[in-house]
Structure 1
Amino acid sequence: MTQLDIAQHDNATLETAPTRYVEGQGIRFAYRRLGPATGTPLVLLQHFSGNIDAWDPAVVNALAIHRPVIAFDNAGVGRSTGQTPDNVEAMARDAVAFIHLLGFSEVDLLGFSLGGCIAQQIAAEHGQLVRKLILVGTAPKGGEEHLLAVLQEAFARTDAPDPRLPLFFTKSSASQSAGLAFLKRTKLRREDRDTDNGNKVTDPQAKALITWCATPDPEHAILRAINQPVLVVSGSHDTMLPASNAYAIFKQLSNAQLALYPDSGHGALFQHHAMFVSHVRTFLDAQPATA
């Protein structure tokens, strides 16, 4: 890595970072790297239907001040090639392949919504790869989801400027105002924006999320295999993946913290972005307790 590359990593934002590519196992992964060149990388696992440019710059840029942050498109999403799998296990395998292609031996994971399911699968199967885990607006295997009903209701809101406004935010004026600000931030990048691949992504992703929640895990095998420190975050009024999921995850983990954000829906991390970033920084920077 040249000094120029390091400087670019240090100064780049989600809006300005070049989209890079790495190829392996028949997939060409698109990604952006922000932040310093050294430190434990924080890899972002995106929500249902989302690509790199669906992340909130207010979250990503702030997290990248002190650590490397990697936003990427998993197989078939955005500018990544390959086919989007219809199950979480295969999505996790593809994400691990991407992490290994970048040469990382240890990472932190931030999984949002469907990305949180993938993060659980990775942490359970690859204990040496994952140092710490942040699960946001997600569900355990066998958890509660209302994906199709909430999507149908959101797309019926023809008065909304973007389906994410009713999907991610509550009906309160404060939440709606925060939602409009979030939508504005996601459109700040003008050039080299990521692509939306439509039903080729959303159909298999919907099947993966619905199947994950419809598959019983009475022994909580996935969660009990996760020994890493975990920060669990949810909005108080998440209609897609209710906050009861967050508490269910928290109860079964051996080393977890739980944060519920007020008057917020599925996009709680975007509505309360400053508080979320503060919580994540504190969590990731905390040293392990000593006996």
Structure 2
Amino acid sequence: MTQQSHQTATTQFVDANGVRFAYRRFGKAAGVPLVFNQHFTGTMDHWDPAVIDGLAKDREVILFNNAGVSSSSGDVPTSIEKMGANAVAFIKALKLTKVDVLGFSIGGFVAQEIVLQAPGLVRRLVLVGTGPRGGEGMATLTPEAQEIFGAAYDEPDHLWLRVHFTKSEKGQTAGREFLRRFRLRSENRDPEVDGKVAPAQIEAIGKWGSPQDKPFEYLKTIHQPTLVVNGGKDVIVYSVNSFILQQHLPNAQLILYPDANHGSQYQYPTRFVRHVSQFLSEEDV
């Protein structure tokens, strides 16, 4: 396992909940594995190698595609709760009894559901560029997100320059460096998602983000130590939602990176790896 990397890790498959889940598992096979939950329309190959390989130096990392996404079978559920149930089934199918969970964007919604549905399974939680049920501007894709995802791009990958990075010179420079890393894996890449994925995920996002009575009460039941990370200028899931998470989770700390949009962890990969590694290595008290 330790000899593989984001670029070379073999795609494996496991069956659970009627789904054949595609996953990659590598890194230092010691301690509690870290399970990653991906963003809107993303696959295993949309993670940043600098982040994944950086974290894999000290722990085992597990990337996977949830149901209906890319190389996994089945249909994409139209609720976050069902996505969470699939993720729990996937983790249990690997015979794991304790994991740390990282969720990015919609993957952060799913990560919260994993903890809610199987609290004994999760040791620590990392929530990146995400928000709570009924958060601010979360009932639909934000106006900025609708414009970004609806625009045409000469190079398809340039979409991610706008999704993940600010328009500043510093932000766009970091974005171009990310795109270079993004394509480092040239063989056995995940297929891009089909046309059914985005509408199903958008429907699930709408249900999760719609206004609710006392929407943040459920967060009080999540007692796992939690690290909340975002850019201070996130236009995809507004940054205020990270503050809401930190305020309502009983044991959460918040980091906002400067001049950073939705993909703050990709703009500051070294800093992010250091912060997450420190958080995951802390003694439970």
Given the two structures, how large is their TM-score scaled by the length of structure 1?
0.93
Once the two structures are overlaid, the 10-residue window that deviates more, 26-35 or 194-203, is 194-203
Amino acid at match of 1:44: F
SS at match of 1:153: helix
CA-to-partner distance for each residue in 1:42-74, whole Å, 9 max, x for gaps?
000000110000000000001001110000000
Letter in 2 for 1:200: K
Does residue 86 (structure 1) correspond to residue 86 (structure 2)? The answer is: no
Alignment partner of 1:176 is 2:172: yes
Q: Secondary structure at the match of 2:2?
A: helix
The match for 1:44 is 36
Q: Which residue of 1 aligns with 2:187?
A: 191
- Quick one: structure 1 residues 24 and 219, their matched pair in 2 at CA, closer, same or farther if it must change by over 3 Å? closer
Structure 2 CA distance for aligned equivalents of residues 178 and 219 of structure 1: 35
Partner SS state of residue 196, structure 2: helix
Deviation string 1:15-52 (CA, Å, 9 cap, x unpaired) is 10011111122111000011122320000000011000
Q: Which amino acid aligns with 1:210?
A: G
Q: What do you get for the CA RMSD once the two structures are aligned?
A: 1.4
Q: What is the match of residue 143 of structure 2?
A: 149
Q: Per-residue deviation at 1:168?
A: 1.0
Query: Which whole-Å CA distance do the structure 1 matches of 2:159 and 2:254 have between them?
Result: 28
Q: Is the 8 A contact 2:85 2:117 kept in 1?
A: no
The match for 2:21 is: 29
Q: TM-score, normalised by structure 2?
A: 0.95
Establish whether residue 288 from structure 1 lines up as the match of residue 284 from structure 2. yes
Letter in 2 for 1:54: H
Task: State how 1:262-277 maps to structure 2 within 5 Å.
Answer: 262-277=258-273
Deviation track 1:176-229 (CA, whole Å, cap 9, x = no partner) reads: 010111111111111110011232111111111122111415152321110000
Gaps of 5+ in 1: 1-8
Give the Cα separation in 1 of the matches to 2:205 and 2:125.
19
Is the counterpart of residue 137 in structure 1 residue 133 in structure 2? Answer: no
Q: Which moved more, 1:80-89 or 1:159-168?
A: 159-168
Q: Deviations over 1:94-130 (max 9, x none)?
A: 0000000000000000000000001111112211100
Structure 2 residue identity aligned to 1:190: S
1:157 Cα shift? 5.7
Measure, in 2, the Cα distance between the counterparts of 1:287 and 1:128: 18
Q: CA deviation at 1:159?
A: 5.8
**Gapped runs of 5+ residues in structure 2?**
none
- Alpha-carbon contact 1:121-1:222 (below 8 Å) kept: no
Could you tell me how far apart the structure 2 residues matched to 1:16 and 1:79 are?
17
Question: Structure 1 stretches (4+) deviating beyond 3 angstroms?
Answer: 157-161
Query: Is residue 171–residue 267 contact of structure 2 (8 Å, CA) maintained in 1?
Result: yes
Kept in 2: contact 1:236–1:260 (CA 8 A): yes
Residue 149 of structure 1, CA deviation:
2.5
Instruction: Give distance in 2, aligned partners of 1:95 and 1:219.
Output: 23
Aligned to 2:229, which of 220, 230, 233? Answer: 233
Deviations 1:135-169 (A, max 9, x none): 00001000123625233322426466521111111
Structure 1 counterpart of 2:120, from 128, 145, 153: 128
Q: Secondary structure at the match of 1:177?
A: helix
Contact 1:124 1:223 in 2 (8 A): no
SS at match of 2:119: coil
> In structure 2, what residue type is equivalent to 1:152?
Q
Equivalents in 2 of 1:118, 1:252: separation in Å? 18
Mapped to 1, the partners of 2:152 and 2:176 lie a distance apart of 15
Contact 1:40 1:68 (8 Å CA) reproduced = yes
